[in-house]
Structure 1
């Protein structure tokens, strides 16, 4: 689920898990560097959910990939 609901709590929704990516975001990092930072932060997000979170953030216009690096919009 993208958004939390009666059956899906916030920390298990894409919206909630995407905040872990936003917490460690930095312009100029690659996807693999961002994955390493998310794992170092102690989150329990699987790689598949991590990619879905990136897709979600791209769909809402918060991140782009340019020349192999991530560019974040504020």
Structure 2
């Protein structure tokens, strides 16, 4: 599920979908905006495998668990992984 398997195509694996989400976050977006951009990007790049909103949310969960995204003021943002921030 997180990585490709016999039953999960590479373009549907949660890490792949997460990478596609990160590519859409060049600025803070609402979850709905990120979902719309991802669907548009997938169509433009011939990723025709169906992707449900639930799968999109699971990919967001993986990104959050990895510390790559966060939700601030209802906007989804890429987390700045600056080393200075982690030392407190």
Give the shorter-chain TM-score range. 0.7 to 0.9
Match in the other structure for 1:65: 71
The answer to whether the 8 A contact 2:31-2:76 is kept is: yes
Uncovered stretches (5+) of structure 1, i.e. residues with no partner: none
Task: Give TM-score, length-normalised by structure 1.
Answer: 0.83
Structure 1 match to 2:3 = 3
Give runs of ≥4 in structure 1 deviating > 6 Å.
none
- Runs (5+) with no aligned partner, structure 2: 81-88
- In 1, Cα distance between the equivalents of 2:33 and 2:54? 16
Encode CA deviations 1:7-61: one digit per residue, 9 max, x unaligned: 2342221112212212211332110010110111125421111000111100000
Paired position in structure 2 for 1:33? 33
Which structure has the larger Rg? 2
